[in-house]
Amino acid sequence: MKKLLLFAAVVVFGSWNINAQDEVQGNQTSQGKWLIEANTGFSAGGGELGLIQHTANTGFGLVSVDGTTIWSLGVEGGYFVMDDLAIKAGLGYTDYDGDSVFTYKLGAKYYIMSQIPIQVDVNGASIKDFDENPLWLGLQGGYAIFLGENVSIEPGLRYSLSLNEDFTDEGIFEVRVGFALHF
């Protein structure tokens, strides 16, 4: 786990120097811009793992396994503190078979060459009447397809590493499609 965290830190901090060329002023990922994002995720885990994945979701999701249905709604927002680097936070609500779950996310998203987003975040949930709650380290990468000045679609891959082994010790791999507004 320490090697994975070190690798993520090197990728995030090392990539700041990759794009040394001049940026076009006023692009979607310029300093001072805002980002509002909603994601959908398709988990590779089935069974109990598929259900666990949706307990800490700040996007849109729906899963049903063995008669248990979980749906989630959420949104993430960010502010570009420098060109191509946004600090993000997210909130969501998940219905876990009738129980209310409030979810959260805090992280950073960097756009390599203003086009290739990578994200590192911590996300988790507060589940009513559960002794343990999920906590994850999320690592995400993809490609931003800008449809104009204010809209992008960002397909990508995400891996969530459990930080609370009392809740689960299994990681979750997802294929994601994000929709973002830039202003």
DSSP string, 99-166: EEEEEEEEEEEEEETTTEEEEEEEEEEEETT-SS--EEEEEEEE--EE-SSSEEEEEEEEEEEES-TT
Name all domains of the chain by residue range, CATH numbers in brackets.
Answer: 29-119+130-182 (2.40.160.20)
Tokens 């679609």 label which residue? 153
| Residue 122: both structure tokens together | 């911590």
**pLDDT score, position 153:** 97
Q: Tell me how far CA of residue 101 lies from CA of 37, 58, 60, 72, 74, in angstroms.
A: 20, 11, 14, 9, 12
Per-residue pLDDT of the chain (183 residues; tens, 9 = 90+): 544 445 444 444 444 433 333 344 469 999 999 999 999 877 655 445 455 555 567 888 887 778 888 888 999 999 999 999 999 999 999 887 778 889 999 999 999 999 999 999 999 988 877 788 889 999 999 999 999 999 999 999 999 898 988 887 788 888 899 999 999
| Residue 118: both structure tokens together | 């990578």
| Cα 19 to Cα 93: distance, rounded to the nearest angstrom | 37
**pLDDT score, position 166:** 81
Say if residues 38 and 179 touch (Cβ distance below 8 Å).
yes
Say if residues 142 and 21 touch (Cβ distance below 8 Å).
no
